[in-house]
Amino acid sequence: MGKNYSWVKCLVLAIAIAGACPFSPALPWQAGEERMIADGAPGHAGGRLVVALRSEPKTLNPALAVDETSRDVIRCLTADLIHINRGSLKTEPSLAKSWKVSRDGRQYTLELRQGLHFSDGEPFTADDVIFSFQVYLDEKVDSSQRDLLVVGGKPIVVVKVDAYTVRFELAQPYAAAERLFDGLAILPRHLLESSYRNGSFSQVGSLSMAPNQFAGLGPFRWKEYVPGQHLVLERNPYYWKADHAGNRLPYLDAVVFLFVPSEDAQVIRFQSGDTDVLSRFSAENFVVLQKQQSVKGYHLDDLGSGLEYNFLFFNLNDLASKGLPEIAKKQAWFQDVRFRQAVSAAIDREGIVRLVYGGRAAPIWDQVTPGNKLWVDDKIAHPARSLEHARELLHSAGFFWNSGALLDAHGNPVEFSILTSSSNAQRMKMATIIQDDLSQLGMSVQLVPLEFHALVDRLQNSYNYEAAVMGLVSGDADPTSEMNVWLSSGETHLWHPNQDKPTTPWESEMDGLMQQQLVTLDYAKRKRLYDRVQEIVAEKLPVICLVSPNILVAAANRVGNFRPGILVPYALWNIEQLYVQ
Amino acid sequence: MKRQKKLVGALVLLSAFQGLILFAGFFAPYDFAAQDREQPFAAPSALHFVDRQGNVHIRPCVQNLEDPGPGAQGSRADSVRCYPLHFFVRGARYKIAGLFTSHVHLFSVEAPGHIFLMGSDAYGRDQLSRFLFGGQISMLAGLLAAILSVSIGIIVGGIAGFYGGWVDELLMRGGELFLALPWLYLLFAVRAALPLHISQWEVFLLLVSVMGLIGWARPARLIRGVVLSAKQRNFVVAARGFGASDAYLLRRHVLPQTYGVVITQITLLIPLYVLAEVTLTFLGLGVGEPMPSWGSQLSALQQYYVLSSYWWMFLPALLLIPLFLVFYTAADALQEIHQAVTL
């Protein structure tokens, strides 16, 4: 019976994906292969997992991919040296079985696993590591990972010690150095070196190339791509992880990525059983899915707040040369910290949590979300909404009221506009609630929903805006991933980016703290430094933090070992251990 | 006679509806922007004459959950209270036709009770109030924009059809070019060029002019066709033979023939423009929050969770169907009467 069933399944698969069955079976372990034991419960081999992607991946080249869908696929195809465990948020060995840090914190010596093979059967050695970092650090390749690998203004130097030992030399101690390696895919030198040398590296990884032109150390390898429909990955028979029973992972025969362009469509496909796993969907759709949870054979997980923080901020740029006198005049309000504090005090964060997220979010008063347990500062006050306090603050800053409307000391009515991205329904709603909250202080606020690129252009280039509601998602729980936000010279220092030198004393203090935490190796000391950054943000309110949405995921009940985490990729980070029942 | 009746019936219905919209503040129980953050997506309130305890009320009442206060325990049914409906009550201030200020509302219930006859939206705002206030903007903007497009259409189409030759070629090819323009991107540019702060009145004018200016090419083509055939009719040719001037011919004989097309075009364009507002709002060119408009009420339906969970969000759309049908009926009757008179 069981045999029959698997035959039928194979047939169904074959119809669904022409010629995709059978998939290559896992190979037996070879002598000297230094496998890694994964910590999940043992499952059983076979079957396929179907997942929807919001768009087609632009490229499968790990050095060039910038969009989230490309990275989602690349994560299945490749492996890194040191990995951040999405469950514990701590680093763990990956292709490097161990590493040593020199006493000054500037040298990392990594021992690589021996006897491993790429998905095409070629052996993996230190040469592949050297080659990969050469590519990532090459300015001509223009990889987005390069910035990460420049520490203290100098690129990391990678030295081959022997065939299975590599040393990384940093210009200065770097607290989060181990975490840098997460997601940095090791490239197959034997396949890519020639195209790198002859300058055609940018074409590597295009979806039109043949599957045998790329190989990785990830759990899956590329099988088939049908434009506009799907991408099929099959088991990498050489994968180097094993379960407790000693079976070679991954369990799945194949992963099928369907291209489903909108969130609503993805929810419907998941609801009808077309896909097995769903992540990145709204709290409203969570409620919709909940209704049929028991009937349809899937389950939903609310992982609590993730690393996304949404905030309101005012334009604090130096507009002298920008020819925007109207906005420059209003900056007299925005630059007054009491004004920002009054706005913060008037905002109904609980209301946002309830109305925008149906309760599936956490109110926040600084940038570190409750989900980031290693770094959240418990001493930050969580003042309740208080219009009285807001009025007192405004009064002390010289504002006054005339028949309900708020006027500044010169008698000008307080009117400004808040920009949001019109394609982000949650932020539109947040802004609508803030507008109503601030109208109770007598402020006349206008909402301007803009198409996303038009919005970014105003925020980053023309500075032609007064206030905006935005959100950022930290790439990692570690504060180092936030350097470009809190350094006054940073590009994502949204309220006043790319400063030559810090404008305000507190920005200068933040610069110092951020730089210092970067080179401090002791966690407790770093925590104190970053706590201080959080206190400054909560007090000076360069960004008025609002809420952090919960990470919501859903999976069919037949998917085993499903253990979602709050770091991207929320659901598929342990795809090698997922199995279907 | 039958036609007359049809027209009168349609006009009565239309004016009743316009009256509701014009006096939206009076008929709406709440201000369009008032948020009740405890009541997002509340289902439409039912009116009861008999409450849960079995007491009979002469005034109909709505049953709302009484806020038990923080920390209070007890079953939800116990805390349901009946709030009787009151008529001609004082409430939020509003303006009638932008001129007179008042705060008398036709009906409401005492706070903390709430009456949402059409349910509430994502912010706990009364849908009925928003529908009535939204009509003020959408109806007027739709009507004005339709008149604007058709007026341009009459001028361009009339001239093109009447004079023919290179004038016709130039105007009609120009119109086709206009149809072929990538409007979405042009509107992005328009939004980028505009100042961020636009007053409500300016937004309204913007809405009317954008919709009106984009839409003239199709009516212009239709009117040109009618003019083209009208100018060759015997009585027009005869009038020309008697020495009538172009302007006289156009005004007296040719353009009146386009009456039917004009009326149908206007009635067809109004609902179209109500929908166009959805797109314009997305581009930041429509009326912004918290101002209501039918377009923004319809756009809530673009989301799957609204579609699948809150049926009362369809009510504005369902109400628009009979409204537009009455519009078409009136237009139909007008055209039939016109034809009967001219024949």
> What are the backbone dihedrals phi and psi of residue B260, each rounded to the nearest 5 degrees, phi first?
-60, -45
Cα of B143 to nearest chain A Cα, Å: 25
Contacts of B281 in chain A (CB under 8 A): 449
Confidence class for position B343, pLDDT limits 50, 70, 90: low
Q: Which of B35, B288, B309 sits opposite A436 (nearest CB)?
A: B35
> What are the backbone dihedrals phi and psi of residue A103, each rounded to the nearest 5 degrees, phi first?
-65, -35
Report how far Cα A237 is from the mean position of its chain's Cα atoms: 29
Query: Nearest chain A Cα to B199, which residue?
Result: A446
For residues A378 and B104, give the distance between their C-alpha atoms in angstroms, rounded to a whole number: 50
Output the six-digit token pair for A307.
Answer: 């690393």
Cα of B310 to nearest chain A Cα, Å: 11
| Tens digit of each residue's pLDDT (9 = 90 or more) over B36-80 | 888 888 888 888 888 777 778 778 888 776 554 444 444 444 567
CB contact under 8 A, B37 and A355: yes
**Segment A535-549 mean pLDDT:** 95
Question: Three-state DSSP class for A222?
Answer: strand
Contacts of B309 in chain A (CB under 8 A): 284, 287-288, 291
Q: Which of A291, A417, A454 sits opposite B197 (nearest CB)?
A: A417
Contacts of A430 in chain B (CB under 8 A): none
pLDDT for A389 beyond 90: yes
Q: Which of A114-118, A475-479, B84-88, B325-329 has the highest mean pLDDT?
A: A114-118
CB contact under 8 A, B123 and A264: no
CB contact under 8 A, A454 and B192: yes
pLDDT for A4 beyond 70: no
pLDDT for B278 beyond 80: no
Q: Which residues are registered as beta bridge partners of B56?
A: B50
| Tens digit of each residue's pLDDT (9 = 90 or more) over B202-256 | 878 888 888 888 888 889 999 999 898 888 888 888 988 888 888 888 888 888 8
CB contact under 8 A, B308 and A288: yes
Q: Decide: A337 and A345 in contact? Cβ < 8 Å.
A: no
Contacts of B288 in chain A (CB under 8 A): 446-449
Q: Cβ of A144: how many Cβ atoms within 10 Å? A: 11
For residues A206 and A59, give the distance between their C-alpha atoms in angstroms, rounded to a whole number: 5
The secondary structure of residue A71, as a DSSP letter, is H
Range in A433-447, A459-473, A567-581, B89-103 the model is least confident about: B89-103
Contacts of A284 in chain B (CB under 8 A): 303, 305-306, 309
pLDDT for B122 beyond 70: yes
pLDDT given at position B65: 66
| Tens digit of each residue's pLDDT (9 = 90 or more) over B285-339 | 777 778 888 888 888 888 888 888 899 999 998 998 888 888 888 888 888 887 7
Element (H, E) at A508: helix A505-519
Q: Which of B37, B123, B305 sits opposite A288 (nearest CB)?
A: B305
CB contact under 8 A, B123 and A432: yes
CB contact under 8 A, A448 and B309: no
Cα of A226 to nearest chain B Cα, Å: 28
pLDDT given at position A141: 87
Q: Does B301 touch chain A (CB under 8 A)?
A: no
| Tens digit of each residue's pLDDT (9 = 90 or more) over A172-183 | 888 888 888 988
> Whole-model pTM?
0.84
CB contact under 8 A, A436 and B281: no
Output the six-digit token pair for B260.
Answer: 């039917």
For residues A433 and A414, give the distance between their C-alpha atoms in angstroms, rounded to a whole number: 18
* A489 class by beta-carbon count within 10 Å (0-12 exposed, 13-18 middle, 19+ buried): middle
Contacts of B195 in chain A (CB under 8 A): 326
Does the ipTM surpass 0.90? no
CB contact under 8 A, B303 and A448: no
Question: Three-state DSSP class for B318?
Answer: helix
Q: Which residues are registered as beta bridge partners of A235?
A: A220
Question: Three-state DSSP class for A40?
Answer: coil
pLDDT given at position B75: 45
Q: Does B272 touch chain A (CB under 8 A)?
A: no
Element (H, E) at A224: strand A220-226
Number of A–B residue contacts, CB under 8 Å: 82
Q: Which residues are registered as beta bridge partners of B335?
A: none
For residues A231 and A465, give the distance between their C-alpha atoms in angstroms, rounded to a whole number: 42
Contacts of A355 in chain B (CB under 8 A): 37, 40, 122-124
DSSP A113-161: PSS-B-TTS-B--HHHHHHHHHHHH-TTTT-TTGGGGEETTEEPEEEEE
Sequence-ordered strand ranges (E) for chain B? 47-50, 56-65, 80-96, 100-109
| Tens digit of each residue's pLDDT (9 = 90 or more) over A93-116 | 999 999 999 988 889 999 999 999
Q: How far is CA A153 from each of CA A36, A180, A571, B79, rounded to the nearest angstrom?
A: 35, 16, 35, 65
Q: Does A450 touch chain B (CB under 8 A)?
A: yes
CB contact under 8 A, A446 and B288: yes
> Please, which residues have CB within 8 angstroms of residue A464's CB and are 6 or more apart in sequence?
A322, A324, A327, A458, B196
Q: Cβ of A402: how many Cβ atoms within 10 Å? A: 10
Q: Which of B217, B233, B122 is nearest to B171 (CA)?
A: B217
| Tens digit of each residue's pLDDT (9 = 90 or more) over A29-67 | 888 889 999 888 888 888 999 999 988 988 889 998 888
* A381 class by beta-carbon count within 10 Å (0-12 exposed, 13-18 middle, 19+ buried): exposed
| Tens digit of each residue's pLDDT (9 = 90 or more) over A57-89 | 888 899 988 888 898 999 999 999 999 988 888
CB contact under 8 A, B288 and A264: no
Confidence class for position A11, pLDDT limits 50, 70, 90: very low
- The residue with greater pLDDT, A580 or A7, is A580
Q: Does A440 touch chain B (CB under 8 A)?
A: no
Residues 407-426, chain A, touching B (beta carbon < 8 A): 415-417, 419, 422, 425
CB contact under 8 A, A446 and B303: no
Q: Does A282 touch chain B (CB under 8 A)?
A: yes
Element (H, E) at A263: helix A263-271
Q: Which of A267, A326, A355 sits opposite B123 (nearest CB)?
A: A355
Q: Which of B31, B277, B296, B305 to mutate to test the interface with A (most CBs of A within 10 A)?
A: B305
B154-164 residues labelled b (16+ CB within 10 A) or e (exposed): bebbbbbbbee
**Segment A353-370 mean pLDDT:** 93
CB contact under 8 A, A417 and B196: yes
The secondary structure of residue B301, as a DSSP letter, is G
Q: Tell me how far apart the 2 most distant CA atoms of chain A are, in Å.
A: 85
> Please, which residues have CB within 8 angstroms of residue B332's CB and are 6 or more apart in sequence?
B6
Q: How far is CA B216 from each of CA A568, B209, B226, rounded to the nearest angstrom?
A: 50, 11, 16
Q: How far is CA A119 from each of CA A86, A99, A248, B136, B258, rounded to the nearest angstrom?
A: 24, 25, 14, 65, 73
Output the six-digit token pair for B269.
Answer: 């364009």
What are A247-250's contacts with CB under 8 Å, separation 24+? A247/A26, A247/A42, A247/A45, A248/A26, A248/A27, A248/A28, A248/A29, A248/A35, A249/A26, A249/A38, A249/A219, A249/A576, A249/A577, A250/A219, A250/A220, A250/A575, A250/A576, A250/A577, A250/A578
What are A392-396's contacts with CB under 8 Å, separation 24+? A393/A338, A393/A339, A393/A341, A393/A342, A393/A345, A394/A338, A394/A339, A394/A342, A394/A441, A396/A338
pLDDT for A164 beyond 90: yes
Query: Nearest chain B Cα to A455, which residue?
Result: B192
> What are the backbone dihedrals phi and psi of residue A430, each rounded to the nearest 5 degrees, phi first?
-55, -45
**Segment A262-283 mean pLDDT:** 92
pLDDT for A18 beyond 50: no
Cα of B62 to nearest chain A Cα, Å: 23
For residues A545 and A528, give the distance between their C-alpha atoms in angstroms, rounded to a whole number: 21
Output the six-digit token pair for B67.
Answer: 């806020």
CB contact under 8 A, A268 and B304: yes
Q: Does B305 touch chain A (CB under 8 A)?
A: yes
Q: Which residues are registered as beta bridge partners of A471?
A: A310
Confidence class for position A163, pLDDT limits 50, 70, 90: very high
- Report the percentage of chain A scoring pLDDT > 70: 96
Q: Which of A300, A434, A436 to mutate to test the interface with B (most CBs of B within 10 A)?
A: A436
Q: How far is CA B30 from each of CA A36, A391, B25, B64, B242, rounded to the nearest angstrom?
A: 65, 26, 8, 17, 64
pLDDT for A28 beyond 80: yes
Residues 210-239, chain B, touching A (beta carbon < 8 A): none
CB contact under 8 A, A449 and B40: no
pLDDT for B340 beyond 80: no
CB contact under 8 A, A355 and B124: yes
Q: Which of A263, A264, A300 to mutate to test the interface with B (most CBs of B within 10 A)?
A: A264
Q: Cβ of A157: how many Cβ atoms within 10 Å? A: 13
Q: Which of A263, A270, A422, A451 to mutate to test the interface with B (most CBs of B within 10 A)?
A: A451
CB contact under 8 A, A436 and B284: no
Q: Does B72 touch chain A (CB under 8 A)?
A: no
- Looking only at the bridges linking them, the beta strands covering A467-473 and A415-421 are parallel
pLDDT given at position B78: 53
CB contact under 8 A, B123 and A267: no
Cis peptide before A502 (omega within 30 of 0): no
Query: Nearest chain B Cα to A433, which residue?
Result: B123
